Structure 1
Amino acid sequence: MEKKEVEELLKMEIPDSLFQRVLGYAERKQRYIYNQTQEQTVMQNWYLVKLAEEYVRSFAFSEFTMCVCRELKGMEKEHSAKSQSAPRNIHIVACPASESNKNLQYGGKFL
């Protein structure tokens, strides 16, 4: 499998380090599924490419989630520094897209 095959499915470039990481996970999952099912289809190249695509998306979502959590934690620290009293009303609100999470990053590189 080549990196460009995964990039074509994702319609974007991915860093080499991310590709190597997802390739290892995808190959492991492919072997596991094959051992469970004995289906020859699982061992085809296109299947490995789809598994790699799945892992890239999963890692990107995890990175996005961690970024949002860091941003929210920073907002909490900023609030507690300004006011020592506990908030009277707690509301859960959607976070508007900020500059830090408009483009999804993986390891400091944009995805």
Structure 2
Amino acid sequence: MITVTIAIEAAITFFAANKFSVRFIEVMFFIGLACTIIIYYFSSSGGRSSEIRSTQLRGETGYFQKSEPFVFKRGPVFNASILYLLIGLLLFILLISGVIPPAGN
């Protein structure tokens, strides 16, 4: 599952890099950050989004449902996304600091 997640994020990064005509490592961190946030949102339950749904249900039906506490379920997909994010951050820092030369050199 980890390999599949990293491959999907790499494919998204590849297509974004081609679309915006930039190098792969220039957008790797940002795609990793976006994917991590999305995975975090969809792998958690309860919390604010649960309260909003509960309030809507209560307003429409009058049925009161007790709020659920926020629970984050960390799994291999989230861990792989964090790994991709950290690798992208490292490469981005190396690019900004000049260790990785700019394109065209």
Instruction: Give TM-score scaled by structure 2 length.
Output: 0.42
Higher helix fraction: Structure 1 or Structure 2?
A: 2
User: Comparing both chains, which one has the higher relative contact order based on Cα–Cα distances under 8 Å and sequence gaps of 6 or more?
Assistant: 2
Instruction: Give TM-score scaled by structure 1 length.
Output: 0.40
